[in-house]
């Protein structure tokens, strides 16, 4: 990942932010994958989780080839042994050959990049490494619906909406396939751990997304 924070600072920030919530986050991601993101992961042979954090997503994906990219030193200790960690700046050339990935997934990551130039370079690397018709699935906080709360995190730099990201993806040579401005509520780093049955219900009722959604999801295909 590209960031203005050092690996040690990232380690400190995320240990404090998600303290005591590891089991709950894993359970939430298990539901999110099975009830929503499986549409995109099911047939992917090679998947990369960009800004993988503690591996809640990539550890639970069944693709034969799995990669994670993160600079947090705790990432290596959190990943399944079969997941290859790329501990590098995501805006520099990735340690992967051209057209080797079917899916790049990222959640709550693009806003942590230091500027849009870094994001543009990252999108170029995603496109280079995706196979033809490969997909990027990006989930993130929508500043349109979080004008103040967005800045409550020390490591938020780049404000994005679903429309601005879709426009950036089109400029980077992607075909935007799906854009949902309101998808999930804002954050799992605070608040009560809601029963997972409520999450399953929420995912099945898009009407609720319009009421409570503060994060976008954008899906783009390598054109």
Could you tell me whether strands 130-141 and 101-107 are parallel, antiparallel, or unpaired per DSSP bridges?
A: parallel
Residues in the chain: 223
Q: Does residue 152 sit within a domain?
A: yes
- pLDDT above 70 coverage of the chain, percent: 90
Q: What percent of the chain has pLDDT over 90?
A: 77
Give the per-residue pLDDT at 189: 52
The reported pLDDT for the residue numbered 110 is 97
In a domain, 1, yes or no: no
Q: Give the pLDDT mean for 52-68.
A: 96
CB 126 within 8 A of CB 47: no
Task: Indicate the pairing of strand 83-86 with strand 174-180.
Answer: unpaired
Judged by average pLDDT, the poorest of 99-113, 138-152, 171-185 is: 138-152
217 in a structural domain: yes
Task: Tell me what pLDDT residue 74 has.
Answer: 85
171 lies in some domain: yes
pLDDT value for 6: 75
Residue 63 CB coordination number (10 Å): 20
In eight-state DSSP terms, residue 54 is T
Residue 11, domain CATH:
3.40.50.150
Q: Is the pLDDT of residue 60 over 80?
A: yes
Say which DSSP state 193 is in: -
At residue 150, the pLDDT reads 87
Backbone angles phi, psi at 14, to 5 degrees: -75, -30
28 part of a folded domain:
yes
- pLDDT over 60 (residue 16): no
Number of domains in the chain: 1
Averaging pLDDT over each range in 66-80, 92-106, 184-198, which range is the top one? Answer: 92-106
Rounded (10°) CA dihedral 140, 169, 221, 64: -50
- SS3 state of residue 55: coil
Characterise 99 by phi-psi region: left (phi > 0), alpha (psi -120 to 50), beta (else): left
Q: If you search the block for the tokens 């995109």, which residue do you land on?
A: 40
Q: Using 50, 70 and 90 to split pLDDT, how confident is the model at 10?
A: low
CA-closest candidate to residue 128, choices 95, 87, 89:
95
The structure tokens listed for 90 are 């995501």
User: In the 3-class helix/strand/coil scheme, how is 142-156 assigned residue by residue?
Assistant: CHHHCCCHHHHCCCC
Supply the mean pLDDT for the chain: 91
The answer to the question of residue 140 being in a domain is yes
Question: Is there a domain that residue 2 lies in?
Answer: no
Q: Determine, yes or no, domain membership for 159.
A: yes
**Domain region containing 96:** 7-222
CA distance 132 to 154: 37
Asked if the model's pLDDT at residue 57 lies above 80, the reply is yes
Better pLDDT: 195 or 36:
36
Q: Tell me the pLDDT tens digit for each residue of 136-169.
A: 999 999 999 998 888 888 889 999 999 999 999 9
Q: Residue 191: its pLDDT value, please?
A: 63
Cα distances (Å, whole numbers) of residue 194 to 8, 33, 66, 177, 198: 31, 17, 29, 31, 7
- What is the model's pLDDT at position 21? 67
CA gap 119, 113 in Å, rounded: 7
């Amino acid at each position: 990942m590209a960031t203005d924070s050092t690996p040690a600072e990232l380690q400190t920030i995320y240990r404090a932010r998600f303290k005591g919530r590891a089991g709950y986050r894993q359970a939430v991601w298990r539901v999110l994958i099975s009830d929503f993101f499986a549409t995109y992961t099911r047939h992917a042979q090679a998947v990369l989780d960009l800004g993988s954090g503690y591996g809640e997503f990539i550890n639970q994906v069944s693709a034969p080839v799995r990669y994670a990219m993160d600079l947090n030193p705790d990432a290596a200790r959190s990943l399944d042994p079969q997941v290859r960690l790329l501990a590098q700046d995501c805006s520099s050339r990735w340690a992967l050959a051209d057209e080797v990935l079917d899916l790049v997934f990222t959640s709550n990551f693009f806003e942590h990049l230091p500027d849009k130039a870094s994001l543009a370079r990252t999108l170029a690397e995603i496109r280079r490494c995706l196979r033809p018709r490969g997909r990027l699935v990006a989930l993130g906080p929508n500043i349109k619906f979080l004008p103040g709360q967005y800045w409550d995190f020390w490591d938020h730099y780049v404000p994005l909406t679903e429309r601005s990201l879709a426009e950036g993806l089109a400029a980077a040579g992607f075909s935007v396939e799906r854009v949902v401005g309101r998808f999930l509520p804002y954050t799992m780093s605070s608040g009560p751990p809601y029963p997972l049955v409520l999450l399953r219900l929420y995912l099945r009722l898009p009407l609720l997304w319009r009421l409570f959604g503060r994060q976008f999801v954008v899906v783009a295909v390598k054109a």
